[in-house]
Amino acid sequence: MSQPIRLKTPLADADVEKLQAGDKVLLTGVIYTGRDAAHKRLFDLLKEGKPLPVDLKGQIIYYVGPAPAKPGQAIGSAGPTTSGRMDAYSPKLMEIGLKGMIGKGMRKKEVVEAMKKYKAVYFAATGGAGALLAKAIKKAQVVAYEDLGPEAINRLEVVDFPVIVVNDTQGNDLYQQGMKQYAK
Amino acid sequence: MREINAKQITEVVRKLCIDSNLYLGEDVLKALDEGEKKEESPVGKEVFQQLKENARIAREEQVPICQDTGLAVLFVELGQDVHIVGGDFNAAINEGVRQGYKDGYLRKSSCHPFARTNTKDNTPAIIHLEMVPGEKIKITVAPKGGGSENMSMVNMLSPSDGIEGVKNRVVEWVKQAGSNPCPPIVVGVGVGGTFEECALTAKKALLRPLGQKNPDPQLAAMEEELLTRVNNLGIGPQGLGGRITALAVHVEMIPCHIASFPMAVNINCHAHRHKEAVI
């Protein structure tokens, strides 16, 4: 197995351009949570030309709705949700500088094209490993849309958060490559 | 006639909601062990190791296996000689869900379909009630996550499609679902009945312990063939490519109308959770 690449956020074009589908990456720094409802709100603000509650330039959004933290925990279980539901909003966010997305499951062609165009990558985290992944999250703070409960935008501080590159800036797709390799 | 207090139902449901979300069943842990051994892809093997480690953390630290602690789906077998006292049956169940999701630090995922506003206590529960002989109540809580539930289908096939038609449709469907339902998955297939009973049959198929075949030899053979075909798709753990896409395929069948041939697929992710209790 190849050694994981260590990356610090925020990400620059040069950071994401060197990533290849299949690369294992350990992320350290700040990442933001956001899923269905938060994406819709961000998208609507952009449509109206209004400022966003967080600056997404160079940032990574993690598609997650965490479980509530128990006393003494930074965050409850926090694995990825299905990314496809964010497809309608993602190209617009990449256009304003979003560099990475973490989720699970396939992305639409338009999203993969936008990753090539705006230099961004899509990472998968292990779906259903929420208890394990929460260990890499050291701090969580709601920074917008508290009323959305588990769908609020959180600022997470992560150390060596394990992900794998599914779609890179060249249009490669690990899901397709992997399936092709093992199909009988 | 046996009297059962509604408060007891609440307490049992509360505990089942928590336990089902924290403790992965022995049958699933065993299937993960076997899957890891059979998996040829290095990344796939690593995924199995992560899932086992995740289950250990959840169990030891008493945190949910997955942040999606699901809608609370309940199967209740109510003995006909039971008299429930001290409260309303449905309210007692919903109170158990409310308490379990709060006290267990479980995520509340129930929302208004249009406004998407959260009901904030994970109610209402989805309750499937069946009356049975006897004076006991058997309650099964099967929390259902959105990612796998979204990969469900009901198809009203034509009788001329036959068993091959069902098998082909299942394999095509799992292929299309790909990495979305968090493989390795468990595939529940319902055949026959009506539109709604067929879907429920597929869901009930997921409750059978892993490693247990359908007692009907034809359906057992169908399950085995489907598992091989699904695993030959190469989707693999988390869809990253590999040998093990599904841990099991369970098929259940009931009679249908002479004009009909319904089939349904309901998928569970590897967090294949359910716990039961008898009052």
B123-132 average pLDDT score: 98
Query: Beta partners for B278?
Result: B138
| Model pLDDT, residue A8 | 97
| Model pLDDT, residue A3 | 86
Please name the amino acid found at residue A55: D
Q: Please, are residues B133 and B79 in contact by the beta-carbon 8 Å criterion?
A: yes
pLDDT in tens, A6-18: 999 999 999 999 9
Q: Please, are residues A103 and A124 in contact by the beta-carbon 8 Å criterion?
A: yes
If you measure CA to CA, which chain A residue comes closest to B270? A128
Residue B233, pLDDT > 90, answer: yes
| Model pLDDT, residue B87 | 96
Instruction: For an interface test with A, give the residue of B68, B103, B108, B270 to mutate (most A CBs within 10 A).
Output: B68
B172-181 average pLDDT score: 96
Specify the DSSP element, H or E, that contains A123.
strand A121-124
Residue A74, pLDDT > 80, answer: yes
Residue A1, pLDDT > 70, answer: no
Query: Beta partners for B226?
Result: none
Residue-averaged pLDDT of chain B = 97
| Model pLDDT, residue B238 | 97
Query: Residue A125's pLDDT band (boundaries 50, 70, 90)?
Result: very high
pLDDT in tens, B144-175: 999 999 999 999 999 999 999 999 999 999 99
| Model pLDDT, residue A152 | 95
Q: A67 and B106 in contact by Cβ < 8 A?
A: yes
Q: Please, are residues B73 and A76 in contact by the beta-carbon 8 Å criterion?
A: no
Q: Is B75 exposed, middle or buried (0-12, 13-18, 19+ CB in 10 A)?
A: buried
Q: What is the pTM of this model?
A: 0.95
| Model pLDDT, residue A48 | 95
Please tell me which of the candidates A1, A73, A105 has its beta carbon nearest to residue B180: A105
Q: Which residues of B touch A137 (CB under 8 A)?
A: none
Residue A157, pLDDT > 80, answer: yes
B100-110 average pLDDT score: 97
Encoded tokens for B212: 């247990």
A64-78 average pLDDT score: 96
Q: B67 and A77 in contact by Cβ < 8 A?
A: yes
Q: In angstroms, rounded to a whole number, what is the distance separating the alpha carbons of residues B24 and B47?
A: 16
Residue B133, pLDDT > 90, answer: yes
Q: B109 and A65 in contact by Cβ < 8 A?
A: yes
Q: In angstroms, rounded to a whole number, what is the distance separating the alpha carbons of residues A160 and A174?
A: 21
Q: What's the full length of chain A, in residues?
A: 184
Task: Give percent of chain B above pLDDT 90.
Answer: 98
The CA distance from B245 to the nearest CA of chain A, in Å, is 10
Q: In angstroms, rounded to a whole number, what is the distance separating the alpha carbons of residues B167 and A184?
A: 17
Task: Count A/B contacts: CB-CB distance under 8 Å.
Answer: 168
Residue B190, pLDDT > 70, answer: yes
Task: Give percent of chain A above pLDDT 90.
Answer: 97
If you measure CA to CA, which chain B residue comes closest to A103? B180
A132-144 average pLDDT score: 97
Q: Please, are residues A167 and A174 in contact by the beta-carbon 8 Å criterion?
A: yes
Query: What is the predicted ipTM?
Result: 0.94
Q: A82 and B239 in contact by Cβ < 8 A?
A: no
Q: In angstroms, rounded to a whole number, what is the distance separating the alpha carbons of residues B222 and B232?
A: 15
Q: In angstroms, rounded to a whole number, what is the distance separating the alpha carbons of residues B116 and B245?
A: 32
Q: Which residues of A touch B109 (CB under 8 A)?
A: 65, 150
Domains of chain A by start residue, with CATH: 5-182 (3.20.130.10)
Contact residues for A89 (Cβ-Cβ < 8 A; gap 6+): A39, A40, A42, A43
Q: In angstroms, rounded to a whole number, what is the distance separating the alpha carbons of residues B59 and B143?
A: 17
Q: Is the peptide bond before A10 cis (omega within 30 degrees of 0)?
A: yes
The CA distance from B63 to the nearest CA of chain A, in Å, is 7
The answer to whether A39 is a known catalytic residue is yes
| Model pLDDT, residue A169 | 97
Residue B55, pLDDT > 90, answer: yes
Q: In angstroms, rounded to a whole number, what is the distance separating the alpha carbons of residues B13 and B25?
A: 17
Query: Residue B236's pLDDT band (boundaries 50, 70, 90)?
Result: very high
Residue A118, pLDDT > 90, answer: yes
Query: Beta partners for A82?
Result: A104
Taking Cα atoms as reference points, which of B276, B278, B279 lies closest to residue B73?
B276
Residue A30, pLDDT > 90, answer: yes
Taking Cα atoms as reference points, which of B274, B120, B277 lies closest to residue B206?
B274
Q: In angstroms, rounded to a whole number, what is the distance separating the alpha carbons of residues A17 and A116?
A: 9
State the SS3 of chain B.
CEEEEHHHHHHHHHHHHHHHHHCCCHHHHHHHHHHHHHCCCHHHHHHHHHHHHHHHHHHHHCCCCCCCCCECEEEEEEECCEEEECCCHHHHHHHHHHHHHHHCCCCCCCECCCCCCECCCCCCCEEEEEEECCCCEEEEECCECHHHHCCCEEEEECHHHHHHHHHHHHHHHHHHHCCCCCCCEEEEEEEEECHHHHHHHHHHHCCCCCCCCCCCHHHHHHHHHHHHHHHCCCCCHHHCCCCCCEEEEEEEEEEECCCCEEEEEEEECCCCCCEEEEC
Instruction: For an interface test with A, give the residue of B41, B59, B240 to mutate (most A CBs within 10 A).
Output: B240
- Catalytic one of A15, A19, A39, A89: A39
If you measure CA to CA, which chain B residue comes closest to A162? B50
Q: Count other C-beta atoms under 10 Å from residue B159's C-beta.
A: 12
Residue A153, pLDDT > 80, answer: yes
Q: Count other C-beta atoms under 10 Å from residue B162's C-beta.
A: 11
